[in-house]
Each structure stands twice: as structure tokens, then as C-alpha cells.
């Protein structure tokens, strides 16, 4: 039973990172938003996790000061959306502990959250009933694909190049056409470009045929392909595969990446076929959930009056 558990803030992030890593390495507790590398999880918690303070974004369950549960909300202030990290629990009554942590964390929020997003492994033992009890809507299934270095990755397509500023407007327009509702719009991607985040393009004269946007994380030897887009007039010509192969070449050879990951909707059979032909293998199948809030936050009047 969980009556002797204490739900409170987590002071030691190293312990939390190790706990998340252990839980997330198993399919029956795997959450798609979190990695499995303990050092990477710790880095995310320390520097990249949530626009709110950790005191409002992360909570734990303790039994005699031993951590037995972790729940986090990676909140973006501008969109007022939250990605759910967990619940990660090592306790008999999983659902009871999960609800106690959820209630405790929601009470800490100082801003409204308009949408909560969950992303769980299809074999997760408790995700479906937990999401159902919280009245989340079940969404689409997605595959997590991975690629690792192979002899074929030693060849670079010289026809693929990095995007130049004169093509930014065209790129933004094409990205909006292909991905009208997505987490990074064209302007976001342009602003994110740096030495570790690049857009490669294929063009015919000055006409943009297609592009791939990838991100490298050399510190943890990981990389991801975030977007691959080909204009309608240039499909079925091998443009997409050439872009993918060029991105793999850069990630494996220029950044010494050991594993590249991407996520694709299970229903997108054409994309799956393309990625597999370029060397990707299926690692996990995940199910998405979401809940939109009508009244996302009950204002604490007493708190406002005393500030």
C-alpha cells in the first residue's frame, strides 16, 4: 500500500536520472520523451527540462527517503503544452502512486497548461489505464527507428548541400506546406541552425526539391532526423533517400555519432519503407495520448492577493 509514501520535490537529480534510466530501459515502463542514457537524462534535467523551475516540474515518491517514483512535466510556456515524463514507479500499487504524484505535481503549476501529451511503449503495463483514468484521448501509433554506422555510410552525395540564406524563404514555405501542424515551423528551424543542427537540401538550379533537418548531440554520441520533406513535383525520384543518406554520412562521419533515431507514424507506410531502405530498423512502437484543458488552471486567489 502507498499510505506510508511521501510525495515531495526531488533534491538529488543524479538519483532521479539513474531511476528514470533504469525504468525507461524496460518496455513495460518506457516513455518516448525520455532517453535511456543516465548522463543524458541528467543533463536534460539540469539544463533543458521545462520552462518552469524544477520545483514545479518534477516530483518524487519516497518510502523512508528512498526514491520509488518520479514524474515530470516538460512544459513550454509559449504553447502551454506539457510532455509527460513518466510516471516511473517501482512500487506494487503503480496506479495509486501515479495518481498521487500527478495530483501533487499539478497543484504546483504556476501557469496554465492547455494540453498534456503522453507517449508510451505499446507494452507499457500501466499507461493505457492511467491515461484512461485521467481522461486522455488515445492517439496514433508511432515507430521509433534507429540507424547505426555501416560501410555504406562512407559515401557522400555531392549533389546535397547545406541550405543557404537565399533559400530560407522557399524552405519555410515548403516546410509549412508539408508540415502545417508540427512542433518546429520553418522559422523555428532557421533560428535553431548551428554547428550541430543543420538543414541539407537538394535543388535543381534554384528550385528546392527537398530537405532534411537533423540534430547532432556529440556529447552523448546521438543524433536525430527531425524532418525530411520532398516537394510534390520531385517525389519518386530518389530525392528523399539521397537526403537521408547524406544526413547519415554527416552524422556518422563528421560528428562521430553512434546511433541515429527518428520517429514516424505507423500509418505512414511510404515513409517507413523509405527509412528502412536507407538503413533504419524498428526499435520501439509507441502510442500517443493527449488531453486538452478547457480550464487548465484554477487561480489561487489567496496567493495572488499576498503577492
Are 20 and 113 members of one domain? yes
Residues 126 and 12 in one domain: yes
Average confidence (pLDDT) over 109-117? 93
Task: Quote the CA–CA distance of 219 and 259 in Å, as a whole number.
Answer: 12
pLDDT tens-place string over residues 40-65: 999 999 998 999 999 999 999 999 99
Least confident of 107-116, 171-180, 251-260: 251-260
- Asked if residue 126 and residue 23 are part of one domain, the reply reads yes
For residue 267, being part of any structural domain is answered with: no
Reported confidence tier of residue 297, pLDDT bands at 50, 70, 90:
very low
Q: Strand pairing of 115-121 and 81-89?
A: parallel
Number of neighbouring beta carbons within 10 Å of residue 247 = 27
Cα distance between residue 228 and residue 165, in whole Å: 19
Please indicate, yes or no, whether residues 136 and 204 belong to a single structural domain of this protein. Answer: no
Would you say residue 114 lies in a domain? yes
End-to-end C-alpha distance for the chain, whole angstroms: 39
Looking at the fold, whether 217 and 242 belong to one and the same domain comes out as: yes
Domain that residue 218 falls in: 149-257
For range 143-156, the mean pLDDT: 75
In a domain, residue 274? The reply is: no
Same domain? 72 vs 177: no
Q: For residue 246, what is the domain's CATH number? A: 3.40.630.30
164 by Cβ neighbours in 10 Å (0-12 / 13-18 / 19+) ranks as exposed
Residue 210 contacts by C-beta under 8 Å, 6 or more apart in sequence? 201, 202, 228, 229, 230, 231, 234, 239, 240, 243
Is 190 in the same domain as 105? Answer: no
Q: Is residue 37 part of a domain?
A: yes
Considering the domain architecture, whether residues 223 and 293 belong to the same structural domain is answered as: no
pLDDT reading at 279 higher than 90? no
> If you average pLDDT over every residue of the chain, what do you get?
89
- Which three three-digit cell numbers place residue 218? 556529440
**Residue 283 belongs to some domain of the structure:** no
Measured CA to CA in angstroms, residue 256 lies from 23, 139, 229 at distances of 28, 35, 25
Residue 106 clears pLDDT 80, i.e. is over it: yes
195 within a domain of the structure (yes/no): yes
pLDDT digits (tens, 9 = 90+) for 1-49: 546 899 999 999 999 999 999 999 999 999 998 889 999 999 999 998 9
- 103 lies in some domain: yes
Is the per-residue pLDDT at 154 higher than 70? no
Same domain, 219 and 300: no
The answer as to whether 262 is a domain residue is no
Please report the pLDDT score of residue 301 as a whole number: 37
Clarify whether residues 116 and 224 are in a common domain: no
Contact 145, 266 (CB under 8 A): no
Please tell me whether residues 168 and 42 are part of one structural domain: no
pLDDT at 302 over 80: no
Q: Please provide the DSSP assignment of 125-156 as one string.
A: SSHHHHHHHTTPEEEEEEEEEEE---GGGG--
Split into its structural domains, the chain has a count of: 2
Amino acid at each position: 500500500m502507498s499510505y506510508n509514501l511521501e510525495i515531495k520535490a526531488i533534491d538529488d537529480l543524479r538519483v532521479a536520472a539513474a531511476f528514470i534510466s533504469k525504468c525507461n530501459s524496460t518496455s513495460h515502463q518506457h516513455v518516448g520523451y525520455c532517453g535511456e542514457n543516465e548522463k543524458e537524462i541528467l543533463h536534460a534535467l539540469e539544463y533543458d527540462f521545462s520552462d518552469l523551475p524544477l520545483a514545479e516540474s518534477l516530483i518524487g515518491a519516497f518510502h523512508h527517503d528512498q526514491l520509488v517514483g518520479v514524474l515530470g512535466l516538460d512544459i513550454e510556456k509559449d504553447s502551454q503544452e506539457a510532455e509527460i515524463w513518466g510516471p516511473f514507479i517501482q512500487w506494487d500499487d503503480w496506479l495509486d502512486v501515479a495518481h498521487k504524484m500527478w495530483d501533487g505535481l499539478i497543484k504546483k503549476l504556476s501557469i496554465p497548461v492547455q494540453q498534456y501529451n503522453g507517449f508510451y511503449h505499446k507494452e507499457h503495463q500501466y499507461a493505457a489505464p492511467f491515461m484512461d483514468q485521467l481522461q486522455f484521448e488515445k492517439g496514433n501509433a508511432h515507430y521509433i527507428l534507429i540507424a547505426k554506422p555501416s560501410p555504406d555510410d562512407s559515401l557522400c552525395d555531392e549533389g546535397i548541400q547545406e541550405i543557404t540564406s537565399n533559400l530560407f524563404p522557399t524552405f519555410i514555405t515548403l516546410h509549412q506546406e508539408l508540415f502545417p501542424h508540427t512542433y518546429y515551423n520553418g522559422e523555428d528551424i532557421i533560428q535553431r541552425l548551428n554547428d550541430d543542427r543543420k538543414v541539407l537540401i537538394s535543388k535543381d538550379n534554384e528550385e528546392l526539391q527537398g530537405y532534411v533537418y537533423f540534430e547532432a548531440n556529440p556529447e552523448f554520441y546521438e543524433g536525430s532526423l527531425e524532418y525530411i520533406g520532398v516537394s510534390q513535383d520531385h517525389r519518386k525520384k530518389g530525392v528523399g533517400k539521397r537526403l537521408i543518406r547524406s544526413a547519415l554520412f554527416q552524422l556518422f562521419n563528421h560528428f562521430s555519432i553512434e546511433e541515429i533515431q527518428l520517429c514516424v507514424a505507423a500509418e505512414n507506410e511510404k515513409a517507413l519503407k523509405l527509412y528502412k531502405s536507407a538503413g533504419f530498423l524498428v526499435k520501439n512502437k509507441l502510442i500517443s495520448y493527449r488531453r486538452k484543458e478547457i480550464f487548465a488552471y484554477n487561480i489561487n486567489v489567496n496567493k495572488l492577493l499576498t503577492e
